[in-house]
Structure 1
């Protein structure tokens, strides 16, 4: 089983996953975010469309390969992915059909790879601070809102889409997110 935890920048998903990883260390395997691995490895962001396409194609393949590695290393655990293969579509400088042509896949194939999607809304969507301890995250609040909307439009097409909205209290939001992740995991561990 494979679950995606995604959302706009500054949504709290990484914080929730870090806490959850500690609680269910032997039940789940957390697949790291491919973009963070790539950008922390020396690749720099670009506004050039050709370079951006190449970066997103690389992230797409890296994400899928990381998921496959974790499936093989932890065959008895539920995979919880820090973002999924469709996240790149929100960053793509062209059309959806161009994206799927360039990555040699389809929307239906990619969305079917995941059993559920848990979406953490960006705090920027309600005007809250999105400061992060992730050094490769550099989006402004405005960019975070736009990415959040794009990502929500993409992932909400999944039949098992769970939404974790912003809250006045970050702690309450994270707790709600963790309960949502736990409910989804319990549902699939019983299946």
Structure 2
């Protein structure tokens, strides 16, 4: 039976609360591993920068998160199929939307027709950049769709950490770390995933 490329993991999630330096770090990491990794852009940014306005209406918010969830997974699978021999580095993952979901977790997974176990299995590792708001620093961003207050950033950071820390290869980078250390930690985590695959190769 032919192998379904979309089901091969070799995926790493780079996530965290707003203002953690994630997007800038991802760009530097991509340059470090030029030709060895393929990146997946953040689905939410693609949607909200394309003319869809963010909403606080629960029904609209749920519809938006369903769209983001599906786009995220499709983008990952496109890159997985296109770059079959590369590590796929994802700017956020399929479970990030759970932190924004206006109802309970069970309702989220029912609406998405999945489970937390199934979504965690999509990824080999999670690199979590804690929000700078946790250290009392500014979280101003060049991304216009990221307009959360420091308080909201901390709340989102806590929710996201609770979700993603369930992954067996969860790697937390505290906000107190220097940005260079954050990038180096991310690079080392990716190198470890690459090394694990090389060791398991036939």
In the aligned structure 1, how far is the partner of 2:153 from the partner of 2:198?
33
Larger radius of gyration: 2
Contact 2:12–2:89 under 8 Å retained in 1: yes
2:84 aligned with 1:75? yes
2:61 aligned with 1:52? yes
Match of residue 114 from structure 2: 105
In the aligned structure 2, how far is the partner of 1:62 from the partner of 1:160?
24
Return the TM-score normalized by structure 2: 0.89
How far off is 1:179 after superposition?
A: 3.4
SS of residue matched to 1:119: strand
Contact 1:11–1:166 under 8 Å retained in 2: yes
Contact 1:118–1:181 under 8 Å retained in 2: no
Contact 1:4–1:80 under 8 Å retained in 2: yes
More moved, 163-172 vs 18-27: 163-172
SS of residue matched to 1:64: helix
Contact 2:124–2:193 under 8 Å retained in 1: no
Return the TM-score normalized by structure 1: 0.94
Match of residue 127 from structure 1: 136
2:19 aligned with 1:7? no
In the aligned structure 2, how far is the partner of 1:88 from the partner of 1:98?
12
Contact 2:29–2:186 under 8 Å retained in 1: no
Contact 1:15–1:174 under 8 Å retained in 2: no
SS of residue matched to 1:118: strand
In the aligned structure 1, how far is the partner of 2:91 from the partner of 2:37?
12
- Provide structure 1 residue ranges, at least 5 long, that are not aligned to the other structure: none
How far off is 1:106 after superposition?
A: 0.9
In the aligned structure 2, how far is the partner of 1:134 from the partner of 1:185?
30
Aligned length: 191
SS of residue matched to 1:145: helix
Contact 2:120–2:167 under 8 Å retained in 1: yes
How far off is 1:128 after superposition?
A: 0.9
